[in-house]
């Protein structure tokens, strides 16, 4: 059995890893999640074990059956201690870091010093810069489930502009948000949309995001950290042109991990650069052709199964 264990659903990532690893390996793969988010936006297939009075025994029973254990961004040292105390000596234990150091849940490097993990995985979106000798693996971003795509409107989607304290927060400064919302009249007829303006709330599921993105022409990813975030991958898979401040390290990390050509992102370093693109009539005239290129790229290189296969080809070495 393959065991994937995490504090939270990690936006559905943990269950996707388990599902695809079972598909490729032919072995039972279980994802165990301690708790759901406050807003319960993600279904937890196996339930949340944190509610169990005998959760240690429940975990111990799974650990004893596992051939490889992936500890996914977990901060709970009591559970990590339990894993090492219970597992047999031949079982590989991998620690996967999903969030960079400045994003919650706040990963602390001393976890890597205090335990003898067989390997450390990091998401291949620039996170390898934080951990020397870590192994980059792709985030398995789902394909769209829409049977018929919605009509694409002249709009710029900014999924990082939110008022919550959850993971997507703080990627846009207040000045950036105000600047975008105040310059619609200069954007050649394009409107700025946020999660709040599209849904009337700040917390949505991945499937909701993907359908919403398919109705937009542009997506603005994080323009502050130099990393690639999931919004960029989701945006390309939805056929949007993506503005991103991902630096060369992040782009090379992603493309080298997947062995694919360079990502068709529009490189910016600040919101002013986005405005520069959107007020350039010659650029607007080429939007259709650029969008076609993005769609073709995503269909060829960013399919969910292909991302999962790269993850599996990395993980299977530890079985």
Residue 172 is predicted with a pLDDT of 56
Give the chain's end-to-end CA distance (angstroms, integer).
10
Give me the DSSP letters along 72-140.
ES---HHHHHHHHHHS-TT-EEEEEE-S-TTSSS---THHHHHS--SEEEEETTTGGGGSTTPEEE---
Q: How many domains does the chain have?
A: 2
Out of 164-178, 206-220, 268-282, 305-319, least confident range: 164-178
Identify whether residues 273 and 314 lie together within a single domain. no
Residue 163 is predicted with a pLDDT of 43
Identify whether residues 110 and 194 lie together within a single domain. no
Domain annotation covers residue 150? no
CA 246 vs CA 90, 127, 162, 228, 264: distances in Å:
39, 11, 21, 5, 12
Domain annotation covers residue 62? yes
Domain annotation covers residue 163? yes
Across 275-304, average pLDDT: 95
Alpha-carbon gap, residue 246 to 103, rounded angstroms: 16
Residue 298 is predicted with a pLDDT of 97
User: Percentage of the chain surpassing pLDDT 90?
Assistant: 57
Identify whether residues 44 and 133 lie together within a single domain. yes
Angle formed by the axes of helices 271-278 and 174-182, nearest 10°: 20
Residue 285 is predicted with a pLDDT of 94
Across 175-191, average pLDDT: 75
Out of 58-62, 102-106, 226-230, least confident range: 102-106
Identify whether residues 293 and 177 lie together within a single domain. yes
Is residue 104's pLDDT more than 70?
Answer: no
Q: pTM for this structure? A: 0.91
Domain annotation covers residue 147? no
Domain annotation covers residue 218? yes
Q: Strand order of the sheet with strand 68-72?
A: 29-33, 2-6, 68-72, 92-97, 119-123, 135-137
Length of the chain: 319
Which domain does 102 fall in, by range? Answer: 2-142+306-318
Identify whether residues 241 and 111 lie together within a single domain. no
Identify whether residues 88 and 217 lie together within a single domain. no
Domain annotation covers residue 149? no
Across 110-134, average pLDDT: 91
Is residue 24's pLDDT more than 50?
Answer: yes
CATH classification of the domain holding 249:
3.40.50
Residue of 296, 318, 222 lying closest to 25 (CA atoms): 318
The residue with greater pLDDT, 223 or 39, is: 223
Identify whether residues 24 and 132 lie together within a single domain. yes
Identify whether residues 180 and 48 lie together within a single domain. no
Identify whether residues 298 and 310 lie together within a single domain. no
Identify whether residues 268 and 310 lie together within a single domain. no
Degrees to nearest 5, angle at CA 118 with 113 and 123: 80
Domain annotation covers residue 228? yes
- Answer yes or no: are the C-beta atoms of 31 and 4 closer than 8 Å: yes
Residue 174 is predicted with a pLDDT of 66
Residue 109 is predicted with a pLDDT of 76
Is residue 94's pLDDT more than 90?
Answer: yes
Out of 63-67, 118-122, 196-200, least confident range: 196-200
- 32: confidence class by pLDDT, cuts 50, 70, 90: very high
- 106: confidence class by pLDDT, cuts 50, 70, 90: low
State both tokens at 45: 């297939």
208 class by beta-carbon count within 10 Å (0-12 exposed, 13-18 middle, 19+ buried) = middle
Identify whether residues 163 and 127 lie together within a single domain. no
CATH classification of the domain holding 124:
3.40.50.2000
Out of 1-5, 159-163, 254-258, least confident range: 159-163
Identify whether residues 74 and 119 lie together within a single domain. yes
Mean pLDDT score of the chain: 88
Residue 107 is predicted with a pLDDT of 64
């Amino acid at each position: 059995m393959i065991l994937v264990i995490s504090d939270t659903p990690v936006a559905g990532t943990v269950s996707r890893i388990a599902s695809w690893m079972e598909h490729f390996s032919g072995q039972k793969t279980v994802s165990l999640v301690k708790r759901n988010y406050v807003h319960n936006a993600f279904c937890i297939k196996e339930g949340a074990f944190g509610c169990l009075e005998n959760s240690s025994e429940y975990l111990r029973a799974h650990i004893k059956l596992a051939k490889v254990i992936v500890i996914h961004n977990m901060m709970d040292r009591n559970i990590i201690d339990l894993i090492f105390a219970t597992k047999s000596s031949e079982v590989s234990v991998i620690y996967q870091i999903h969030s960079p150091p400045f994003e919650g849940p706040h990963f602390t490097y001393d976890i890597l010093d205090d335990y003898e993990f067989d390997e450390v995985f990091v998401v291949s979106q620039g996170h390898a810069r934080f951990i020397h000798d870590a192994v980059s693996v792709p985030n398995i971003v789902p394909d769209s489930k829409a049977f018929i795509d919605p009509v694409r409107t002249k709009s710029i989607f900014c999924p990082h502009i939110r008022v919550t304290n959850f993971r997507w927060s703080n990627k846009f400064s207040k000045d950036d948000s105000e600047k975008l919302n105040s310059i619609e009249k200069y954007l050649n007829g394009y409107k700025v949309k946020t999660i709040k303006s599209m849904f009337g709330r700040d917390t949505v599921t991945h499937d909701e995001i993907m359908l919403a993105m398919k109705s937009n022409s542009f997506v603005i990813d994080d323009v502050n950290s130099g990393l690639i975030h999931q919004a960029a991958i989701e945006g390309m898979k939805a056929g949007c042109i993506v503005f991103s401040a991902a630096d060369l390290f992040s782009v090379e990390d992603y493309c080298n991990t997947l062995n694919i050509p360079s990502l068709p992102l529009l490189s910016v370093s600040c919101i002013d650069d986005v405005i520069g693109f959107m007020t350039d009539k010659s650029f607007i005239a080429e939007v259709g052709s650029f969008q076609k290129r993005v769609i073709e790229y995503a269909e060829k290189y960013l399919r969910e199964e292909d991302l999962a296969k790269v993850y599996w080809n990395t993980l299977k070495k530890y079985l």
